[in-house]
Structure 1
Amino acid sequence: MAEMLISGPEGRIEARYTPPPHEGASVALILHPHPRAGGTMQDPITIRLYQMFERKGFGVLRFNTRGVGRSQGVYDQGIGELEDAAWILDYLENMVESPRYVWCAGYSFGAWITLQLLMRRPEIDGFLAIAPPANHYDFSFLAPCPASGLIISGEEDAISKPSDVERALTKVRIQKGEVIDRESIEGANHFFTGKHDELIDICEAYVDRRLVEDEEKLRREAEAAAAKAGSRKPPLPRALPLKPEDNDPVE
């Protein structure tokens, strides 16, 4: 894992990056909780998400949004933080040429930024939104949600109640073929105290399933394209003009 200072829209951005084992691997961007509540890229859940994708061979990056840690700038009510996330995603995709899959994962405030980033970046294939603060922010911007993903909340979470999340999702339209899965963890509060292992196990199982499904989807699409190409009739040969010596002699 490398410590980095990346030039960003408001100055330098402090980050941690683990490169993938090979070119063309998948990448994941991890987003931390609310800066005004002490959220940084050193948050325990943020680190656990980072390590999970790292184990799976992703190129993975987490960073401090503006005004946090050694990142320059000041807190910007989520507007500048979304700009930072889009900037860093560009940087990550440039670090790994032609990534196979692009994922984004965020916790609390970071989940809200993750969901907004989906609407800006059609290349994102999957997401993990952990404890999105549905009673603090409007999620109607997901119209329609362009990618499949997982939303997780704790059943004892006063900030991201499962009922609030469900109510927010009733206003969300989803693109054809995309699915938002929902999970809740019994006895978990907003910080998932004593539940980090269970939380990461759920995330990991979802990512594993999605990777298998997405590979199968790519295989079917490739087979369908090959079958379509093979079913095309070859064009009729173009008639060639006769050479002078092939003409019948003139009597």
Structure 2
Amino acid sequence: MPRRIESLFVDGPVGRLETLIEEPEDGVITEAALVCHPHPLHGGTMHNKVVYRIARGLRRSGSVVVRFNFRGVNLSEGTFGYGKGEIEDARAVLGVLRQRYPDLPFSMAGFSFGSRVILHIAKDLAETPGAVRPVRLIPVGFPTVRGLDIDLADCAIPRYFVHSTIDVFGPKDQIAEMVGQLQEPKSLTFIEAEDHFFAGALPQLEDVIANLPR
């Protein structure tokens, strides 16, 4: 049976957000997952090759995946929101995902800029009494050169960091030190790749995502 793919627009804080919902190939859904793309001002879109591989790996593990374009990207309305706006965009799309699949546990994944977005949302959910929290967070290519501006000291949500061994935006020693200071549960997986965008190792990235713990 062919997998179900739905293209739609979600009402965001400043206009419609171009969104794509994809079910697993075998149609057996065990989790819902939000995936956020890299920086909108540097060519980031939901069709970025790393984002595509993350989504594909999640679908292989049984997730229904929602990808979307932040405000001002392709068919999404609005203009760049300097990070705060993009966090609100992701909240809006996550809300729709939760409405559609209310009985499923949910995860959040993001690449580069998108990994910051999901960590901000997770921190807020963890601090909100009664809020349903994600069962896991998957920050891919977290840009450590900007520092960790999110206090994750008391975050008990499992965080599975995935990183290229060569990354000018997150050198190997920096990401290892950052993750080392976080409390459990956590993990850091390095993939032998040529750059921040996992050049030469995209299939390996997909495999790692598909086999992360639940």
Q: Which TM-score tier does this pair reach, normalised by the shorter chain?
A: 0.7 to 0.9
Residue in structure 2 matching 1:31, options 23, 32, 36: 36
- One-letter code aligned to 1:182: L
Fraction of identical pairs, as percent: 28
Bigger RCO of structures 1 and 2 (CA < 8 A, at least 6 apart): 2
The answer as to 2:196 corresponding to 1:190 is yes
Larger radius of gyration: 1
Deviations 1:128-184 (A, max 9, x none): 111100112424421322311211221211111121113333554x3xxx4110111
1:34 alignment partner AA: H
- Structure number with the higher strand fraction is 2
Task: Indicate how the Cα distance of structure 1 residues 139 and 169 shifts in structure 2: closer, same or farther if over 3 A, else same.
Answer: farther
Structure with the largest fraction of helix: 1
Q: Please say if residues 71 and 86 of structure 2, whose CA atoms lie closer than 8 Å, have aligned partners that are also in contact.
A: yes
Q: Which amino acid aligns with 1:67?
A: G
Q: Give, in whole Å, the separation in 2 of the partners of 1:79 and 1:201.
A: 32
Which consecutive residues of structure 1, in runs of 5 or more, have no partner in the other structure? 212-251
- CA distance in structure 1 between the partners assigned to 2:102 and 2:150 by the alignment: 33
Provide the TM-score with structure 1 as the length reference: 0.75
Query: Which stretches of structure 1, 4 residues or longer, exceed 3 Å deviation after superposition?
Result: 19-23, 169-172
Contact in 2 for aligned 1:116/1:142 (Cα 8 Å): no
In the superposition, the TM-score normalised over structure 2's length comes to 0.87
Q: 2:88 aligns with which of 70, 83, 88?
A: 83
2:124 corresponds to which letter in structure 1? Answer: R
Q: Tell me the distance in 2 between the aligned counterparts of 1:166 and 1:53.
A: 24
1:181 aligns with 2:187: yes
Q: Is the 2:139–2:161 Cα contact (8 Å) retained in structure 1?
A: yes
2:15 pairs with one of 11, 30, 35: 11
**Cα distance, 1:195 vs. partner?**
0.7
Structure 2 contact 164–195 (Cα < 8 Å) conserved: yes
Q: Which residue of 1 aligns with 2:167?
A: 157
Superposed displacement of residue 26, structure 1: 1.4
Q: Is the 8 A contact 1:31 1:105 kept in 2?
A: yes
Counterpart check, 1:2 vs 2:2: no
Map of 2:207 onto structure 1? 201
Compute the RMSD of aligned alpha carbons.
1.8
* Structure 2 counterpart of 1:116: 120
Query: Corresponding residue for 1:58?
Result: 63
C-alpha distance 181-170 of structure 1, shift in aligned 2 (>3 A):
closer
Deviation at 1:97, TM superposition (A): 2.4
For the residue of structure 1 that corresponds to 2:211, the secondary structure is helix
Tell me if structure 2 keeps the 8 A contact 1:134–1:165.
yes
Contact kept in structure 2, 1:156 and 1:188, CA below 8 Å: yes
Structure 1 counterpart of 2:141: 131
